Amino acid sequence: MNKLEEAMGRLNHIEQDIEAMMYAIGDSTRKYTEDELLNMLIGMNQLHKTRYEMMWQEYENFKKGAIHNFNDFDEEEFHRNLEEDLDKKHQEAMEEKRRREEALSQCI
């Protein structure tokens, strides 16, 4: 999901763009022309649209991958692995019980 997270994070770049615009309008020693300011806004708008499109493409890629991984799920293998894990835990518990009983019998 790393690419999707990156694409989503890039949507936040608009905040930095707006801060730059506020600087250009209010704090810059240079006075930008109306055309320059409008060009900045047009560029910001297009960049935001492109970032949004990229984010949706990564989301679609993520969904395809998630569906592919889900379709690869092997229920029989899952149950087989689960049984093996439970058997192993049961054997470990029985071995621990045997050791405790043996230790207890040596104390008596």
Let me know whether 92 and 105 are in one domain: yes
The pTM assigned to this predicted structure is: 0.53
Give yes or no for residue 67 having a pLDDT over 60: yes
Average pLDDT score over the chain? 86
Give yes or no for residue 78 having a pLDDT over 90: no
pLDDT in tens, 5-54: 888 888 888 889 999 999 999 999 999 999 999 999 999 999 999 999 99
Give the domain range for residue 96: 75-108
Determine the pLDDT at residue 108.
67
Q: How many CB atoms lie within 10 A of CB 7?
A: 20
Let me know whether 67 and 42 are in one domain: yes
b vs e for 58-82, b when ≥16 Cβ sit within 10 Å of the residue's Cβ? beeebeeeeeeeeeeeeeeeeeeee
Residue type, position 108, single letter: I
Determine the pLDDT at residue 40.
94
Q: What is the DSSP letter of 23?
A: I
Let me know whether 80 and 64 are in one domain: no
Let me know whether 4 and 18 are in one domain: yes
